[in-house]
Amino acid sequence: MNDWHGGELRVSDHRTCSLLRIYKYYFVSRGDIYLKIQPLATTKYMEKADGLLKVIIVRGKNLVIRDFTSSDPYVVLKVGNQIAKTKVINSCLNPVWNEEFMFSLKEPLGILKLEVFDRDRFKSDDKMGHAFIDLQPLVSASKLKKALQLTAGETKLRKVAPDSDNCLLASSCITYVDGEVVQDVCLRLCDVESGELYMTVKWIDHPTTAIPVKKS
């Protein structure tokens, strides 16, 4: 096992890797720490993957109307052959999801596709736009972090600029912070009149190749 930073604990052996959220811990006796934990993700046969992609869908802004006066939006995430969905937020054009997802991936990661839909009860869901993120800059920044042997503090690794080949609304910084390589992203939704998506992506290396975080 064993990589504990922030409020999360990574537990692994040669076949599996689990990411657990620590929501309470206390010391019972000298040398023993007791944890209350909640599983975030478990990946079987982790040796086949190069790491875990953590995606936090934060919020949407100025989403398009698909019902009479509003929409009931949710987001579908696709990376490789893995798919996940956020919850539906009823009657809201500026929804806040703050939902986390984990994907076990092998390099090259390719792109993360995002599609927004309006949930309808009596007909098929309406499209509210789509976008994507190229994940390779995140992995490249992770390799740079290793090369620089960063183990603590906060360091800006690279910046991705908006252009005609991506969906970025503004420049996106990739930063090493609290033991993780993190990219905050704001995306414009395509093939729709309006809509923006705000999210965070993180790349967590395979435990056998990760550099442990030093605790002061």
Which residue, judged by CB position, is nearest to Ca ion in the bound state? 72
Burial class of residue 48 (count of CB atoms within 10 Å of its CB; 0-12, 13-18, 19+): exposed
The 10 Å CB-count burial string (b at 16+, else e) for 82-106 is: eebebebbeeebebebebbbbbbbe
Q: Tell me, residue by residue from 64 to 83, as one string, x for binding to Ca ion by CB under 5 A and - for no binding.
A: ---x----x-----------
Would you count residue 120 as binding Ca ion (CB under 5 A)?
Answer: yes
The residue among 40 and 88 lying less far from Ca ion, judged by its C-beta, is 88
Q: Select 16 or 62, whichever has its Cβ closest to Ca ion.
A: 62
CA angle 140, 134, 119 (to 5 degrees): 145
Q: Looking at 13-21, 23-31, 61-69, 181-189, which segment touches Ca ion (CB under 5 A)?
A: 61-69
Nearer to Ca ion, 67 or 107 (CB): 67
- Minimal distance, residue 90 CB to Ca ion, in Å: 8
CA distances to 66, 107, 113 from 213, rounded to whole Å, are 47, 23, 31
Residues 138-197 binding Ca ion (CB under 5 A) are none
Region of 117-125, 148-156, 167-175, 188-196 interacting with Ca ion (CB under 5 A): 117-125
Are 165 and 133 spatial neighbours (Cβ–Cβ below 8 Å)? no
The piece of 83-91, 116-124, 151-159, 168-176 that touches Ca ion (CB under 5 A) is: 116-124
DSSP reduced 3-state for 136: helix
- Closest to Ca ion by CB, 66 vs 202, is 66
Residue 93 or 102: the one with the smaller Cβ distance to Ca ion is 93
118 binds Ca ion per the rule CB under 5 A: yes
Tell me which residues touch Ca ion (CB under 5 A).
Answer: 67, 72, 118, 120
